[in-house]
Structure 1
Amino acid sequence: MKLLVVSTNAALTMGGEAMKALQYVQQLLAQGRDVTLITHDRCRAALAGQLPEGRVIYVRDSAMMRACWRTPGLARLVNSFFHLEVARICRDFDPDGVVIHYLCPISPVEQRFPPKGYRYVIGPLSGNIFYPPGFRHLAGRGLRLQQRIYRPLQKLLGLFSRQFARAERVLVSGYDRTREALDWAGCPPGRIEEVWDAGLSEALFDRPRIRPAESPPRFVWIGRMVPYKGAELAIRALSHAPEQSQLTLYGDGPQRAELEALVRELNLGARVTFAGWLPHDALADTLGRFRGLMFPTLREANGIIMQEAMAIGLPVVTLRWGGPLGLAEEGEALFVDAGSQGQVVRDLAGAMQRLAYEPDLAERISQAARAKAEAAFPWGRVADSWYAAARAAHDRTAGGSQEGRARHVDVPSGVDSDQHRA
């Protein structure tokens, strides 16, 4: 079986979705699987040296994609035209020997236009995530509109699109909220399979668990500085935490100047450090110097940084909302309710105080988080669960796929989609 993994982005430098696409392909190649990644040409430079020759097909912007980029309000349609280009590429492969895996984006709304006669799986999907009620004022006009029309839009798409009905499997990592969205879109319940959203490198588990109680009461936040990531909440919480507590923020983004102004306003300059982007290969060593990870994200579909912190044994302080709620149980992280801003800030500060003054608590959470991560998150196990869905799809119908038969083409590394057509 040849697996074609489709992801709009794939790189270590483009966020969690892009990272997991690259790591999944690398994991399968390490297992000796026949897999090729199909991704956008914008990933070419970031993927240099990351995958062997012949294992990447790059999709250049079509005329319609370029027009969407140039036209205000139409950028959201670029992915649709990307998937139309992908369908043309996939038709160059023999449908009897191929399974297509539509990996990213994670949204149940995304229209993928799989070529007829080809077997495919979709996911893991973890969409249908919005701000908690007490924080909806942070949502822009577009997101508020999206939330209002999400259900009727899914129902409408379900009438015209059979992408889920035709899929061999729909992998879900977004729990009940994503299952609900798929139900609105007409996805047969029997096609849905629960999996983890992403895996972690075995190198994280080869390291000894850190001892957070031996670190000073310093806390860390990591991410892109945008409102839903919760950096402002972490800073405000620090102002109510014990004076010896400190906070280091890794990352950058459009909210950074606002966050720096907030630090000055709260007179926290001596306790807050803006450290810029943290290279991924330095993540484990760096996190091991802190008492806890502040992860008060307000609209997170999963939370790879939370998985990574759990793997090394760093206690995580997060909200009972969205993706983090499915990654850990009570005792494997410190959860606070996602109510009003004032309540969240007070409870985050209380969690920082507990970790600062209760070293035994930090150690218990560290041990439980590490055990959960070891049992659930190694890439080998996660990749096997995804690949098994594709393998089962191939084996169930092997030899029976006739519609859309095409010749198989071996594509050299870096060949563009406009050169790779029957």
Structure 2
Amino acid sequence: MLTQNQPKVVLIAPNAGTKMGGEAIKAYQYFRWLLDQGIDAVLVTHGRNRQELELRLPAERVLWVEETPLQAFLWHSRILRPLVSVYFHRTAARLTKDLDRATTLLHYICPISPVTLRFPPKGYRVVMGPLNGNLVYPPAFRYRAGRKQRVQESLYGLTQRFFGALFGDKRRAETVLVSGGERTRAALRLAGVAEARMVDVLDAGVSTALIGLDPARHDGRNPHFVALGRFDAYKAYDLTIKAVAAADDDICVTIFGDGYMRASLEELATSLGVAERVSFPGWLAHEQLSELRRYRGFVFPTLAEANGIVIQEAMALGLPVLTLRWGGPVLLADDNSALFIEPDGEDAVVAELAKAMNLLAADPVLATRIGAAANARAQAAFTWDSVAESWSAHYSPKQ
């Protein structure tokens, strides 16, 4: 909602657009919403997003953090790669340092990690978030976390306290938007953030175009399921493929997306004899998400999903979501609007996933009931207007 004292908003996000995953989509859609509301807003983002954003946004509304040899060196270094984020935010601070501090607000929307350092220049009002982190693998899947990840987790509390004391970027923010519930609040408290500065919000919204579509119709038997996302280890697509192998012979899944694990996932499907029932067509354009309505359900057994924008989108389309009772999905759906599987270990999850796919494929009434509840929940809570307004409400100066 616009007010007479509406500040100039500088939205800061390393990635923004429709082709680089959930965080980039969120940043782009929110910035687009700000402009549509008539808010004086500028986006600070990395130059790698230029090709798409120059076609989608007014040139005068974007400041670019350009690629440099130093940044490229940091990115290609296994040891120094974490400094890429530091480089981006230091450069963003230089780009914004000459704006009018009395009338400008800096909103650091991405990344969502409550650990990442932002380095806002002094004198500006600052909003951060939604932040969503401090999430580990379920106990029965801890063996899947790599050694580096386990070491990082063991040092998490110490790191937060150290960064909070030395840099204090989150502690000094006027408002910190929190979308990860108590686990994220706990991480922010370690960094010295006062409870009074934390505000609980949803992590993202669903586009008006998508949420306005008629939900999926579930008639007769439909053995076709779908998944979507980057092929990272924590997404656990291997569990989906193994569940297909354990399910009825006609159960199949289309996995949209790409990533470093693609070859190993294709090899797994072949070794299990289900290569013809598991397809990998690459990324699905965001404008084509409506096509997902032809599937019976959305399979997403992620092990460490902080939120799950794809879950929100699937729910908006009226697709039953099959996911683990862990992390972000628990904050988005309930037992009426999704099928939750307990994260009790690989064998148990594979068996329950296969059972759930068999059940949904054969029962259009059940699929319709869950899909309708999911769609109703999305209509009530996930619209970009309601989510964005809950964020921008904190742009007004504190009384």
What range is the shorter-chain TM-score in?
A: over 0.9
| 2:390 aligned to which of 378, 385, 399 | 385
- Go from structure 1 to structure 2 and tell me whether the alpha carbon gap of 1:86 and 1:215 turns closer, same or farther (over 3 Å shift): farther
Aligned mates of 1:79, 1:270 — CA distance in 2: 41
- What's the counterpart of residue 40 of structure 1? 46
The answer to whether the 8 Å contact 1:7/1:105 transfers is yes
Off by >3 Å, runs of 4+ in structure 1: 61-67, 69-72
The answer to whether the 8 Å contact 1:212/1:292 transfers is no
1:214, CA displacement in angstroms?
4.5
Aligned mates of 1:103, 1:239 — CA distance in 2: 40
| 1:105 aligned to which of 111, 123, 146 | 111
Q: The residue matched to 2:56 in structure 1 has which SS?
A: coil
- What's the counterpart of residue 236 of structure 2? 230
Q: For 1:384, give the aligned amino acid.
A: E
1:249 aligns with 2:260: no
- What's the counterpart of residue 18 of structure 2? 12
The answer to whether the 8 Å contact 2:221/2:362 transfers is no
The answer to whether the 8 Å contact 1:220/1:294 transfers is yes
- Go from structure 1 to structure 2 and tell me whether the alpha carbon gap of 1:60 and 1:335 turns closer, same or farther (over 3 Å shift): same
Q: For 1:360, give the aligned amino acid.
A: V
Aligned mates of 1:97, 1:314 — CA distance in 2: 44
- What's the counterpart of residue 361 of structure 1? 366
Quick one: percent identity of the two aligned structures? 47
Aligned mates of 2:259, 2:77 — CA distance in 1: 24
- What's the counterpart of residue 343 of structure 1? 348
Q: The residue matched to 1:237 in structure 2 has which SS?
A: helix
Aligned mates of 1:355, 1:343 — CA distance in 2: 18
Q: The residue matched to 2:302 in structure 1 has which SS?
A: coil
1:364, CA displacement in angstroms?
0.9
TM-score, length-scaled by structure 1: 0.90
Q: For 2:252, give the aligned amino acid.
A: Q
Aligned mates of 2:221, 2:323 — CA distance in 1: 20
Aligned mates of 2:232, 2:157 — CA distance in 1: 26
Unmatched 5+ stretches in structure 1: 397-422
| 1:370 aligned to which of 369, 372, 375 | 375
- Go from structure 1 to structure 2 and tell me whether the alpha carbon gap of 1:53 and 1:180 turns closer, same or farther (over 3 Å shift): same
Output aligned runs, 1:210-225, within 5 Å: 210-214=216-220, 216-225=222-231
- What's the counterpart of residue 307 of structure 1? 312
1:388, CA displacement in angstroms?
0.8
Aligned mates of 1:92, 1:267 — CA distance in 2: 61
For residues 306-349 of structure 1, give each alpha carbon's deviation from its aligned partner in whole angstroms, at most 9, with x where no partner exists: 10000010110000111111110111100001121011111111
- Go from structure 1 to structure 2 and tell me whether the alpha carbon gap of 1:215 and 1:93 turns closer, same or farther (over 3 Å shift): farther
Aligned mates of 1:175, 1:215 — CA distance in 2: 38
The answer to whether the 8 Å contact 1:212/1:288 transfers is no
Q: For 2:125, give the aligned amino acid.
A: R
1:324 aligns with 2:329: yes
1:281 aligns with 2:287: yes
Aligned mates of 1:151, 1:145 — CA distance in 2: 12
- What's the counterpart of residue 296 of structure 1? 301
1:93 aligns with 2:109: no
Q: For 2:155, give the aligned amino acid.
A: I
1:27 aligns with 2:33: yes
The answer to whether the 8 Å contact 2:9/2:41 transfers is yes
Aligned mates of 1:69, 1:357 — CA distance in 2: 48
Output aligned runs, 1:55-94, within 5 Å: 55-61=61-67, 65-69=71-75, 71-94=77-100
For residues 128-164 of structure 1, give each alpha carbon's deviation from its aligned partner in whole angstroms, at most 9, with x where no partner exists: 1222122222222221111111111112222222222
- What's the counterpart of residue 246 of structure 2? 240
1:201 aligns with 2:218: no
Q: The residue matched to 1:288 in structure 2 has which SS?
A: helix
Aligned mates of 1:269, 1:108 — CA distance in 2: 40
1:378, CA displacement in angstroms?
0.8
For residues 215-274 of structure 1, give each alpha carbon's deviation from its aligned partner in whole angstroms, at most 9, with x where no partner exists: 612111112222211211011111221222211121222222222222222211332222
Q: For 2:28, give the aligned amino acid.
A: L
Q: The residue matched to 2:315 in structure 1 has which SS?
A: helix
The answer to whether the 8 Å contact 1:215/1:290 transfers is no
1:295, CA displacement in angstroms?
0.5
1:116, CA displacement in angstroms?
1.2
Q: For 2:17, give the aligned amino acid.
A: A
Q: The residue matched to 2:155 in structure 1 has which SS?
A: helix
- What's the counterpart of residue 144 of structure 2? 138
Between 1:48-57 and 1:244-253, the stretch displaced more is 244-253
- What's the counterpart of residue 56 of structure 2? 50
Aligned mates of 2:264, 2:90 — CA distance in 1: 40
- What's the counterpart of residue 4 of structure 2? none
Root-mean-square deviation (Å): 1.5
- Go from structure 1 to structure 2 and tell me whether the alpha carbon gap of 1:62 and 1:119 turns closer, same or farther (over 3 Å shift): farther
For residues 60-100 of structure 1, give each alpha carbon's deviation from its aligned partner in whole angstroms, at most 9, with x where no partner exists: 24675355335441111111122122222222111111111
Aligned mates of 2:213, 2:307 — CA distance in 1: 24
Q: For 1:81, give the aligned amino acid.
A: Y
Aligned mates of 1:260, 1:59 — CA distance in 2: 36
Structure scoring higher RCO (CA < 8 A, sep ≥ 6) equals: 1
The answer to whether the 8 Å contact 1:204/1:312 transfers is yes
Q: For 1:153, give the aligned amino acid.
A: T
Q: How many residue pairs get matched?
A: 393
Between 1:166-175 and 1:350-359, the stretch displaced more is 350-359
